[in-house]
Structure 1
Amino acid sequence: MALWLTGKKKYEDQDDQQLINSFRQKGDKKALGILFERYSHLVFGVCMKYLKNEDDSKDATLNIFEKLMEDLKRFEVVKFNFWIHSVARNYCLMQLRSRKAMTYVDDENGPGLDAFMETHQSDHLSAVDNKEHQLQLMEEGIKHLIEEQRICIELFYLKKYCYQDVAEIAGFSLNEVKSFIQNGKRNLKIYMLKNSHEVTDKH
Structure 2
Amino acid sequence: MSYSTSNFSHLSDNELVSAYKTSHDKLLVGELYKRYMHLVLGMCIHYFKDKDVAKDIVLQIFEKLFEELKKREVENFKGWLTFVVRNHCISELRKTQAQLNRDLEYRYEVKMQSIEVEPEIVKEEEEKLEALEKALESLNPFQKKCIELFYLKNMSYTQIVEMTGYSVNEVKSYIQNGKRNLKLLITNSK
TM-score (norm 2): 0.49
Higher helix content, 1 or 2 = 2
TM-score (norm 1): 0.46
Bigger RCO of structures 1 and 2 (CA < 8 A, at least 6 apart): 1
